[in-house]
């Protein structure tokens, strides 16, 4: 791990530590805002996972470790898994990322899209783009191979009680409905059109109350992360 970080990451000393407790404390410090670094968070989590350091910290698997961190620090479970993905991707392509001088300021949140981009473009082109493109541009490029196409254009828009999809009236909410019902429909429409924009799939689950919804959301994030992680 001596060459783990380049000149842009020298301040992340805890990431290079061989002591899992030091890495764990560094992750907690970032969550609490002592050192706001997505890159450091991701690399720390990736090391905890790849070297199975969670065992030395008293946890049986990575899920248990992240769940404990979230409960203790009030961090979002899905966000933590996203940081983990960022770190795993960074370590996997560390040499190429260091060659282009990729650092925190270049946008670590682009990293989860790197694998997909590498499936259809030469490596040199992809790494030039991840360095120079904005997150939205690179995400669109990774999904379509056509940078900038619809990258900054929202397909859906809410105007009063009407939802427009790609500039066309799609949903008109009856004004006689209550404010709660209107908001419910608008939120559902927003999810629908976001999934359409990303060419995704929606799975509808009916739950009885907000408590069940909160519990379900945590498990859903875990399951989704596990399923998507199998592609790595």
Instruction: Determine, yes or no, domain membership for 149.
Output: no
140 and 169: one domain?
Answer: no
- Say what the pTM is: 0.54
Domain boundary among 144, 165, 183: 144
**154 pLDDT band (50/70/90 cuts)?**
low
Q: Which of 19-28, 52-61, 108-117, 169-178 has the lowest mean pLDDT?
A: 19-28
Compute how many other C-beta atoms are within 10 angstroms of the C-beta atom of residue 75.
19
Mean pLDDT in residue range 202-230: 75
Same structural domain, 108 and 173: no
Strands 156-159 and 162-165: antiparallel
Three-state DSSP at 172 gives strand
Closest listed residue to residue 142, CA positions, set 173, 160, 159, 119: 119
More confident residue, 13 or 45: 45
* 212 and 109 co-located in one domain: no
For the stretch 3-34, pLDDT in tens is 444 434 444 566 677 777 777 877 777 766 64
Same domain? For 137 and 162 the reply is: no
Query: Does 13 share its domain with 79?
Result: yes
pLDDT digits (tens, 9 = 90+) for 84-96: 999 999 999 999 9
Q: Domain tally for the chain?
A: 2
């Amino acid at each position: 791990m001596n060459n783990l970080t380049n000149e842009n990451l020298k301040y992340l000393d805890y990431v290079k530590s061989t002591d899992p407790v030091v890495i764990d404390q560094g992750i907690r410090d970032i969550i609490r805002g002592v050192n706001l670094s997505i890159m450091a968070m991701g690399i720390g989590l990736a090391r905890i996972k790849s070297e199975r350091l969670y065992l030395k910290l008293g946890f049986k698997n990575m899920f248990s470790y992240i769940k404990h961190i979230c409960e203790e620090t009030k961090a979002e479970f899905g966000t933590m898994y996203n940081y983990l993905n960022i770190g795993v991707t960074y370590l996997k392509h560390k040499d190429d990322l260091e060659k282009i001088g990729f650092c925190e300021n270049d946008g670590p949140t682009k990293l989860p899209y790197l694998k997909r981009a590498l499936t259809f473009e030469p490596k040199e082109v992809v790494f030039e783009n991840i360095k120079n493109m904005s997150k939205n541009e690179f995400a669109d490029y990774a999904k379509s191979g056509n940078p900038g196409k619809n990258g900054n254009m929202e397909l859906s828009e809410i105007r009063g009680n009407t939802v427009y999809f790609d500039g066309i009236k799609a949903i008109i909410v009856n004004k006689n409905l209550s404010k709660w019902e209107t908001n419910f429909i608008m939120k559902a429409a927003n999810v629908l059109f976001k999934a359409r924009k990303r060419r995704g799939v929606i799975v509808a689950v009916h739950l009885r109350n907000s408590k069940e919804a909160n519990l379900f959301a945590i498990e859903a994030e875990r399951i989704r992360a596990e399923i998507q992680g199998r592609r790595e």
